[in-house]
Amino acid sequence: MGGLTIVPDCTIDDISVSEKSMLILPGADTWSDPKHSTIIEKASELLSVGAAVCAICGATAALANAGLLDNRAHTSNGAGFLEMFSPAYKGQNLYIDKPSVADNNLITAGSAGALLWSKQIIEYLGVFQSNTLEYWYQYFSTGDSKHFFALMQSL
């Protein structure tokens, strides 16, 4: 998508299934292709052991179609988007109309929620102290240099 080339570090079979793992599924319009079924199965395995799975945009439709959004709060590009592209979707009662939602090791976002989704992933990983993360988010959401300097000062 957009000409971006991604070179994997490992195969799907090499992904460690442990609660310390995290799988990030990027947005795309190809998630309905059967060739992606193996990674969606891996997402299911990871969620079942308490690992984090993060999906944005079209990847949320693949999770929905696999039933992985049926029992967790989630979001996407709209409940109608999931219903349109995921015939097996049954999680409408847990759909939250927000840019990004984190629930029980699942972090989902619609395409407009990329920044908040990134923040929730960084928060889950514990990369920054909470104040540093907030400065990071404020800088990238506003572009205001005062947040950049606060971010640098907090590191």
The pLDDT tens digits of the residues spanning 27-86 come to 999 999 999 999 999 999 999 999 999 999 999 999 999 999 999 999 999 999 999 999
Q: Which residues are part of the catalytic machinery?
A: 57
Mean pLDDT of 108-117: 98
Q: Is the per-residue pLDDT at 101 higher than 60?
A: yes
Q: Is the per-residue pLDDT at 1 higher than 80?
A: no
* Beta carbons of 107 and 140 less than 8 angstroms apart: no
Question: Quick check: is 84 in a domain?
Answer: yes
For the chain, the maximum distance between any two Cα atoms, rounded to a whole number of angstroms, is 49
4: pLDDT confidence band, cut at 50, 70 and 90?
confident
Question: Quick check: is 116 in a domain?
Answer: yes
pLDDT at 109: 99
Domain count, the chain: 1
Average pLDDT, the chain: 96
Note down the domain range covering 79.
Answer: 12-127
Question: Quick check: is 73 in a domain?
Answer: yes
Question: Quick check: is 62 in a domain?
Answer: yes
* Beta carbons of 61 and 27 less than 8 angstroms apart: no
Measured in whole angstroms, how far is the alpha carbon of residue 18 from the centre of its chain?
A: 18
Element (H, E) at 145: helix 145-154
Question: Quick check: is 48 in a domain?
Answer: yes
Q: What are phi and psi of 139, to 5 degrees?
A: -65, -50
Question: Quick check: is 3 in a domain?
Answer: no
Instruction: Establish how many alpha carbons lie within 13 A of residue 134's alpha carbon, considering only the half-sphere containing its beta carbon.
Output: 3
Question: Quick check: is 59 in a domain?
Answer: yes
98 burial (CB, 10 Å; 0-12 / 13-18 / 19+) is middle
Q: Is the per-residue pLDDT at 8 higher than 90?
A: no
pLDDT at 3: 77
Query: What is the CATH classification number for the domain harbouring 37?
Result: 3.40.50.880
Question: Quick check: is 153 in a domain?
Answer: no
2: pLDDT confidence band, cut at 50, 70 and 90?
low
